[in-house]
Amino acid sequence: MRSHPLARRIILAPTLAVVLALTVAACSSSSSTSASTSTSSSSAPAASSSAPSSAAASSPSTGGSSAAVAQITANWEAFFDGKTSAAKKITLLQNGEKFASVINAQAGSSIATGAGAKVTAVVVNSATSATVSYGITLNGASALPNQTGTAVYQDGVWKVGDVSFCDLLKLENGGTAPSVCSSAG
């Protein structure tokens, strides 16, 4: 089956706009806080997405530690939250200092204030890596659902993996990631 090029463009245009908002959101956006995880634990994440935890309540562990899941959820959503400062976002991104110019450049965007992320599941794979299922929102509505990324435990904090951030930057830039992404991961 062949798809019509015009139909593809009509579908692709809003998606690219969402990706742009999504990437900008990584630097300055709003989001809702979610307690959804892959575990059935009744533990709740940090109370406020604008004040994410900066360290796990206990050391990271495998198997879905509720403390690790809560921190990953809070920090992932805070990274995409428009109320979170660019300086804080840099601390919530793996190797964030390398991305400071990108984050600071996007922080002033007006679109960014309407974008966010909602974590739907977290699977802690090891003491330093977790898989995060999430969706990107725009003005509270789902814009880019069913995304998967990686959280990493670095310097005592669960952070958004720089490869995940670069994947979003690549989407924003029509398939080309910024040069800073060449050293990601």
Q: What is the pLDDT along the chain (185 residues), one digit of tens a residue?
A: 444 444 433 333 344 444 444 444 444 333 333 333 333 333 333 333 333 443 333 444 444 489 999 999 999 999 998 778 999 999 999 999 999 999 998 877 767 777 799 999 999 999 999 999 999 888 888 988 999 999 999 999 999 999 999 998 898 889 999 999 998 87
Residue 134 burial class via C-beta count within 10 angstroms: exposed 0-12, middle 13-18, buried 19 and up: buried
pTM: 0.70
**In angstroms, what CA-CA distances link 118 with 75, 122, 184?**
11, 11, 23
What pLDDT score was predicted for residue 184? 86
Q: What angle do CA 75, 78, 83 make, to 5 degrees?
A: 155
Domain borders along the chain are 8-179
